[in-house]
Amino acid sequence: MTYDTQPNASHFVDGAYLEDAAGDPIDVVYPATGAVIARIHAATPAVIAKAVESGLRAQAEWAALSGRERGRVLTRAARIMRDRNRDLSVLETRDTGKPLSETLYVDATSAADALEYFGGLAGSLTGEHVQLGQDWVYTIREPLGLCVGIGAWNYPTQISCWKGAPALACGNAMIFKPSEETPLCALKVAEILVEAGAPAGLYNVVQGAGAVGAALVGHPDVAKVSLTGSVPTGRKVYAAAADGMKHVTMELGGKSPLLIFDDADPDDAVGGAILGNFYSSGQVCSNGTRVFVQRGIKEAFLARLAERLAQAKIGDPLDESVNFGPMVSARQREIVLGYIEKGKAEGARLVCGGSVIDGDGFYIQPTVFADVTDDMVIAREEIFGPVMAVLDFDDEAEAIARANNTPFGLSAGVFTRDLARGHRVIGQLRAGSCFINSYNDAPVEAPFGGVKMSGVGRENSKAAIHHYSQLKSVYVRMGRVEAPF
């Protein structure tokens, strides 16, 4: 069985599919062929109102359960997702164009990891007791209320659960708005949560582009907004949330540095650079797209890299032997091609790739530029495509200073066999999610998020609990009240 790409209706609200054909039409396109695989509609004000009303109702019911009871629903949902991993992976591939050889291992599975992890934590969320002589204070960890999750298009299933699982574990409800580019997968997450026993309305999915996202963020009954998206969108959403004094988590873009020292294992370093630039055709926020290579090993590194990239199997993402797919959309491909042209015009050396691949899909070759300098546009701006910029460096202090010279701070990596150096360098890099002799691992147990313009707050790990709950403190006086008059 595989899922039909055309959903029963556009939205999933109050425990069931919901349609309102008055909303703006959205065509869902399979990036490997350009074919329209589903037609849906953006949420109207009536759909949003129903999502909010049912979310508030479900949240009250859900928060009244014990954490353990909530956790049981989440872990049951995780089990269902694992059982249906192949169907969910095929849908993810159709929605995003990412190869099945990736989606089978990192999408529904990481979503299930989040449901399992936060389901496990739900029963142990507590406040604390503070003795103050005779008197005492106790704190209660309370949910925030109705949360809004807004997703990017690169990991639709994962993002929906990285936000939904901690929100629900803490006793909140969530309205999730997927990216308009990839609206299909979150609907399945909503279906599965209901099947696992979540009350109707607890996790609603509404569709639409920025206007629907903005309507949700501005809604007075929404207590928190968690966005995964670009920095310009993050600025707008953060400002709108501030107006209503709402909690936020901002998972935004990056231009992360990957430092490769001359003592690094050459194959591991090349492997890390490949994972940090070409997985999901480069559409990963934490990618190490500024690859600083110590001068003495640069040419050997580039030669090995070109050799390995020539082995990428590009093609139909549903063919499990394919490991490199298209960009998510024609528009994204145009943006990436624009950057490739800028790289050439600014005098960077094109080592490999640089062109589209003929056909109807939105493919671009894995592309590497060398001799990139810090001032070039391809070294400064997030490209969000398969374009690696290789920069040379001579010594550690220089590499660290140049790596930090960016408004972003999502991730950073270092390859070296000198472990003291590895820790020393990572200690000085200003980034939230870092790697030593590895790149882009993001297990649910580890906090994930950025510093500087790359974001606010952390997803995953116990840290996420603090972003989906608040403390009520209660002072208890044991003696008489002494008032001044």
Catalytic residue among 92, 102, 251, 382: 251
Question: Token pair 């300098």 is at which residue?
Answer: 373
Contact segment (CB under 6 A) with ligand NAD among 5-13, 26-34, 63-71, 223-231 equals 223-231
Classified as helix, coil or strand, 263 is coil
63-77 burial, b at 16+ Cβ within 10 Å, e below that, comes to: eeeebeebbbbbbbb
Q: Say whether residue 229 binds ligand NAD (CB under 6 A).
A: yes
Residue 228 binding ligand NAD, by CB under 6 A: yes
150 binds ligand NAD (CB under 6 A): yes
Nearer to ligand NAD, 59 or 440 (CB): 440
Tokens found for residue 465? 């609990």
Window 410 to 429, contacts with ligand NAD (CB under 6 A): 410
Report yes or no: 329 and 361 within 8 Å, Cβ to Cβ.
Answer: no
User: Shortest Cβ distance from residue 213 to ligand NAD (Å)?
Assistant: 2
The Cα 226–Cα 455 span in angstroms is 11
Q: How many CB atoms lie within 10 A of CB 22?
A: 11
Least separation in angstroms between CB 23 and ligand NAD: 14
Out of 213, 317, 353, 413, the only residue in the binding site for ligand NAD (CB under 6 A) is 213
Position closest to ligand NAD via CB: 213
Q: How far is the CB of 337 from ligand NAD (least distance, A)?
A: 16
What letters, b where the CB count within 10 A reaches 16 and e where it falls short, cover 144-160? Answer: bbbbbbbbbbbbbbbbb
Q: Figure out which of the listed residues 127, 210, 266, 271 binds ligand NAD, where binding follows CB under 6 A.
A: 210
275-314 residues near ligand NAD, rule: CB under 6 A: 285
Write the interaction track for ligand NAD spanning residues 158-187; mark x where CB under 6 A is met and - where it is not.
Answer: -------------------x-xx-------
Asked whether position 209 contacts ligand NAD by CB under 6 A, the answer is yes
Q: Does 384 bind ligand NAD (CB under 6 A)?
A: yes
Q: Is 251 annotated as catalytic?
A: yes
Q: Does 437 bind ligand NAD (CB under 6 A)?
A: no
Q: Which of 102, 77, 97 is closest to 202 using CA atoms?
A: 77
Query: How many CB atoms within 10 Å of residue 307?
Result: 11
* Residues whose CB is less than 8 angstroms from the CB of residue 359 and which lie 6 or more positions away in sequence, other chains included: none
Q: Cα 209 from chain centroid?
A: 17
248 binds ligand NAD (CB under 6 A): no
Among 31, 99, 145, 253, binds ligand NAD (CB under 6 A): 253
Residue that the structure tokens 């890390």 belong to: 272
Q: What is the closest distance, in whole angstroms, from the C-beta atom of residue 411 to ligand NAD in the complex? A: 9
For position 233 contacting ligand NAD by CB under 6 A, the verdict is yes
Summarize as ranges the residues that interact with ligand NAD (CB under 6 A).
Answer: 150-154, 177, 179-180, 209-210, 213-214, 217, 228-230, 233, 236-237, 251-254, 285, 382, 384, 410, 455
Could you list the active site residues?
A: 251
